[in-house]
Chains A and B, each alone.
Chain A
Amino acid sequence: MKKYLLLIAIVGIGAAWVNKPHPIPLTVHNYSFTHYNTDGTRMYYGKDLTDINYVKGFDYICLSSSTICTFMGNTANAHTDLTGSYFYTSDVPHAGIDDSGIYYDGF
């Protein structure tokens, strides 16, 4: 075994420990989905996904940036937009929406 390679491996372990991703706060952005109105304006909902039995890691996921949640559940459900495609909640304004309200964009 080459000693310098072992040293590099130890440096790599240290770097991995220092740069390991930190867990995201569970209270932020674990909801929100959007629809487009028929006139093209965007309508935002805030909804607690856990309240409708969505399971984190299966039906939706939030990544370490904490502003990005991706819904991964059944595409027939309402968490897709009207085109049936997935979306990121980073596109959704987080101010002005709450768990039960509807936020209209552009009105």
Chain B
Amino acid sequence: MLRKLAIVLVPALLVLLFVYTGFTKVFALQHFRDTLYNQPFPHPLAAVLVYLIPTAELSIAAALLFNNTRKKGLYCAAGLLTVFTLYIAAILLHFFRRVPCSCGGIFRGLSWSQHFWVNVLLTGLTITTIVFYSKKSIPSPLNHLVL
């Protein structure tokens, strides 16, 4: 029951998340560029990420839509969420010389620590769903044999 629920709900949640975050960036690309330039990494990297992050988010959302690419989409979602989570952890642990504004994240009103826990939750849900997907029984071709 829990497995079925996760397999149905988590991809839906991730589609909503990545479509929302991806298109929010696309619709206000200048604002997203501003927030990236405010992050504590080099500007040339920010210039690439301006396009790379929304492209990755929307590609993952697209992959999750289709049955034959959903599992790969889940893997990519887990990877991207892990990268975001590690970046937020680095900020919270003061790996960088300054703490930037957290206003460029999923929900602009959240603090960095709230962002962190939301990301941890989403990453956990995604990884759990991948495990459920892996355990999903594959219908045997023998089942379709008419004897």
Chain A residues packing against B (C-beta within 8 Å): 1-2, 4-6, 8-9, 11-13, 15-17, 19-23, 57-58, 61-65, 68, 70, 72, 85-86, 88
Contact = CB atoms under 8 A, between A and B. Distances in A.
Looking at B22, B38, B61, B98, the one whose CB has the most chain A CB atoms below 10 A away is B38
Query: Which 7 pairs, one residue from A and one from B, show the smallest C-beta to C-beta distance?
Result: A12-B19, A16-B23, A20-B27, A21-B31, A12-B20, A16-B24, A86-B98
B65 A17 contact: no
Interface string B68-112: 000000000000000000000000000001101101000010000
Interface of B: 11-12, 15-24, 26-28, 30-31, 33-35, 37-38, 43, 61, 64-67, 97-98, 100-101, 103, 108
B97 A21 contact: no
Given A5-B11, A20-B24, A64 B100 contact: no
A64 B15 CA distance: 26
Contacts, number: 88
A63 B16 contact: no
B12 A4 contact: yes
B38 A70 contact: yes
Contacts of B20: 12, 15-16, 19
A5 B15 contact: yes
The prevalent SS among residues of B at the interface is helix
B24 to A, nearest CB: 4
A64 B31 contact: yes
A17 B19 CA distance: 11
A19 B24 contact: yes
B67 A1 contact: yes
A8 B98 contact: no
A12 B98 contact: no
Nearest to B43: A58
Contact of A12 (B11, B23, B31, B37): B23
A64 B67 contact: no
Contacts of A70: 38, 100-101
B15 A8 contact: yes
Contacts of B23: 12-13, 16-17
